[in-house]
Structure formats: structure tokens, C-alpha cells
Amino acid sequence: MHQLRDPLFEAQNPARLTDAAWADHGAAAAPRFVGIGSPHGDDRLGWHVADLLSRRLGDAAEVIKLETPIDLLARLDAAGRLVICDACQGSGAPGTICRGEWPEMDVIGNRAGGSHDLGLRQTLELAAQLGRFDSVSGPIVFWTVEAAQVKPGEAISAAVMAVIPELITRIEKDLFPGDHRCEASPAPIR
């Protein structure tokens, strides 16, 4: 689990969702956010969103960073709501945000991550065939953002950075549906 606390960030961002603000969500399995990424340009998206959510949500949600979609298979145990975020290519203009909910897979496409990897779509299909979703007590939601570039060592592009505040707000609504505290404006990206 990836958990970060930054007192300066919290002081500068009063809209941060505190642990106490989520205390009434009961003893059910905590929602789980999985950011999939790499250190290659816009493919950093999932990791970056995971870092931001970890700061904002504290212990109210389990926040995980993974390198490949197939790593998700080992992280489906006793999850509440499951929200996944990954960059994609071939689905629209850079910065285009897409949301899907299992088993609706049209927004992901069929492309695998590489010759030896399974992509997000293939991983979710395999998880279903293996019965791995049986331990997930809520819906399985995935968010993708169209990447502009995935060059090794490059930073996230301006087109993708521009949509991250909206993406964070929408992901929080999926993690905690119906909760008015999710209406807080997203913290600025620094």
C-alpha cells in the first residue's frame, strides 16, 4: 500500500479529504484505487494520480501503484469498490478522459501492453475467468486518459496534466459515491 502524508500540502489544500471526514463509511472493505504506470511520459499518470489521492484521502482508501496491469491479479483480495487508472493510446486526442465499468470494455480497446504483457482489458478478462472478482464487494471502475507521449524519462505532458484535477474529482466520486464531501474542488497540481 502506498500512503503519503504531507503536512505542508494539507495546510495549503483545505479541500483535502481528511480521515475523519470519511470515518462514517463503516467497517466494510475500504475502497481501493490502483494507479498503473511507469516512468515514461504520460504513462506516469496512474502513479501521479495515486500519489495525489493518497495525500487527499489518507487511510480512507487503499491506494496502490502498479507497473503492469497483470500485477492487478494479486491485488483483488477483499476489495470494496475498485477504481483503476491507466494511460492509454489510440482512443482519442491527448488528455481525453474515458470511464468504464466492468464488464463494459469498449473504452479500453484490445491492445496489449507489449509482446509479453497483458493489457488492462486482457487482465480484467482473465481476472473474471479466474473468479478473482468474487472477492471485490463493489463495482469495478476504470479510468483511462489518452497519452500524448510515453517517452522514457519524460515528464507528464501538459495535455494530460491539464485534466488531472477533473480526473481526481471524478475518481473520488467513484470511490465514495453519493458523498457530498466529494464535491470539494481538487487540490492544485504542483
Confidence of residue 188 (pLDDT cuts 50, 70, 90): very low
Q: CA angle 67-68-73, nearest 5°? A: 115
Contacts with 74 (C-beta within 8 Å, 6 or more apart), sequence order: none
Percent of the chain with pLDDT strictly greater than 90: 55
Q: Is the pLDDT of residue 9 over 80?
A: no
What average pLDDT does the segment 41-63 reach? 96
41, 150 contact by CB (below 8 A):
yes
Strand order in the sheet with 140-146: 62-66, 32-36, 82-88, 140-146, 97-101
CATH topology of domain 7-16+28-183: Rossmann fold (3.40.50)
Query: What are the tens digits of pLDDT across the range 109-148?
Result: 555 555 457 888 899 999 999 999 888 888 899 999 999 9
Q: Is the pLDDT of residue 5 over 50?
A: no
**Cell numbers of 178, please?**
453519493
Query: What are the tens digits of pLDDT across the range 68-81?
Result: 999 999 988 877 89
Confidence of residue 16 (pLDDT cuts 50, 70, 90): very low
**E strands of the chain, at which residues?**
32-36, 62-66, 82-88, 97-101, 140-146
CA distance 140 to 101: 6
Amino acid letter, residue 3: Q
CA distance 42 to 85: 12
Domain ranges of the chain: 7-16+28-183
CA distance 74 to 164: 27
What pTM was estimated for this model as a whole? 0.78
| Least confident window among 20-24, 36-40, 107-111 | 20-24
DSSP code for 171? H
